[in-house]
Amino acid sequence: MKILGIETSCDETAAAVVEDGIRILSNQIASQVEIHARYGGIVPEVASRQHILAIIPILQQAMAEAKVAWSDLDGIAVTTGPGLAGSLLIGVNAAKAIALAHGLPITGVNHLEGHIYANWLVEHGSDSALVFPLVCLIVSGGHSDLVLMKGHGDYVVLGRTRDDAAGEAFDKAARILGLGYPGGPAIEQAARAGTTSIQLPRAWLKGTSDFSFSGVKTALLRLVEEGKVSTKADAAASFQEAVVDVLVTKTVAVAKEHGVKQILLAGGVASNKLLRQWLIKNSPIQVLVPEPVLCTDNAAMIAACGYYRFQAGKTDGLDLDVVPSLKMA
């Protein structure tokens, strides 16, 4: 079964063709990062205009790379939310137009669910490598969720951030330190030359599986304002460690508590090397992590998730609409 995935929830216009939910035949991504970098963050109106310019070329590239014709496809999976309304609309309308023109079924995918399904695409081989129940830590620019997954499409949210998402915290810290945008890769890069010599607080929120990252960001801001930060590199290394420490400790604790067989990492922050290494090192439970290019926004993960939705008979009509504040089921 060949599924065309389309993703336009934020600042990446992406299209991909995936076979049987695991094999990537193509994975095309047009990033707008350089356009938004000059504003220090994503400008929604600019993002939707860029999606309009990029969507048709990226679809053509994805079909060409996969060497498939429209008639070879079995369905279309498209992100309906969460995300920016004006950005989501471009992908959803493109998906509907293709579905109508070529008589293909369509399914709407939750972007966060898509991030989880990046784990089915990877070098682990087949889906038999993944064992339910499992716990997934989804850490992106807008979310930090701990999710218990008992089967395909079966989720219980065990914890989430009460303020900033992990990626948002990285982005804000990078701005405080003048390291540029997006902040996650900038902090990771700067941290390589630093030591974790600066004491920063961790919000453990004991007795819950929730997170809070606004305190550590404010603490960093205070230290910078008071001139107590030795070097940007030390600040970046210390900040990265503070965020990773909490993410790893709480994820391992919740996975043990629920007696799961595996822990999955997902979302843009999952491409952070320290997070990947610490989780693997500190977890007695098997940890699976997608390759970095599949952690950040892409359409292959949407196609993979869409495959399982089609398998479960979850097909949508042409009245499919965007849901900018869509939650995990």
- Given the rule CB under 6 A, which residues bind ligand KG4? 10, 140-142, 167-168, 170-171, 182-185, 188, 267-269, 271-272, 296-297
Closer residue to ligand KG4, CB minimum distance, 187 or 260: 187
Closer residue to ligand KG4, CB minimum distance, 99 or 235: 235
CA–CA distance, 268 with 275 (Å, rounded to integer) = 11
Three-point CA angle 315, 320, 325, nearest 5°: 110
Closer residue to Zn ion, CB minimum distance, 177 or 266: 266
Kindly state whether residue 140 participates in binding Zn ion, applying the rule CB under 5 A.
yes
CA–CA distance, 117 with 268 (Å, rounded to integer) = 13
Q: Closest separation between CB of residue 288 and ligand KG4, Å? A: 17
Q: CB under 5 to 8 A by kind: which of Zn ion, ligand KG4, none does 171 bind?
A: ligand KG4
139, containing H or E segment: strand 134-139
* Packing angle, helices 44-66 and 85-102, rounded to 10: 30
Closer residue to ligand KG4, CB minimum distance, 26 or 271: 271
CA–CA distance, 289 with 156 (Å, rounded to integer) = 20
* Sheet with 134-139, edge to edge strand ranges: 154-160, 144-151, 134-139, 262-266, 286-288
Q: Closest separation between CB of residue 312 and ligand KG4, Å? A: 24
Closer residue to ligand KG4, CB minimum distance, 5 or 267: 267
Nearest to 97 by CA among 318, 327, 328, 255: 318
Q: Closest separation between CB of residue 310 and ligand KG4, Å? A: 23
CB hemisphere CA count around 194 (13 angstroms): 22
Stretch 249-288: interaction string toward Zn ion, x if CB under 5 A = ----------------------------------------
Q: CB under 5 to 8 A by kind: which of Zn ion, ligand KG4, none does 182 bind?
A: ligand KG4
Q: CB under 5 to 8 A by kind: which of ligand KG4, Zn ion, none does 194 bind?
A: none
Q: Closest separation between CB of residue 17 and ligand KG4, Å? A: 20
Q: CB under 5 to 8 A by kind: which of ligand KG4, Zn ion, none does 185 bind?
A: ligand KG4
Closer residue to Zn ion, CB minimum distance, 245 or 297: 297
- 8-state DSSP, 226: T
Q: Closest separation between CB of residue 68 and ligand KG4, Å? A: 26
- 8-state DSSP, 210: -
CA–CA distance, 320 with 315 (Å, rounded to integer) = 10
Closer residue to ligand KG4, CB minimum distance, 21 or 185: 185
CA–CA distance, 64 with 66 (Å, rounded to integer) = 5
In total, the chain counts a number of residues equal to 329
CA–CA distance, 27 with 110 (Å, rounded to integer) = 19
Q: Closest separation between CB of residue 64 and Zn ion, Å? A: 25
CA–CA distance, 182 with 36 (Å, rounded to integer) = 9
Q: Closest separation between CB of residue 70 and ligand KG4, Å? A: 28
Q: Closest separation between CB of residue 113 and Zn ion, Å? A: 11
CA–CA distance, 295 with 107 (Å, rounded to integer) = 22
CA–CA distance, 228 with 219 (Å, rounded to integer) = 11
Kindly state whether residue 234 participates in binding Zn ion, applying the rule CB under 5 A.
no
Kindly state whether residue 241 participates in binding Zn ion, applying the rule CB under 5 A.
no
Stretch 288-307: interaction string toward Zn ion, x if CB under 5 A = ---------x----------
Residue numbers of the site for Zn ion (CB under 5 A)? Answer: 140, 297
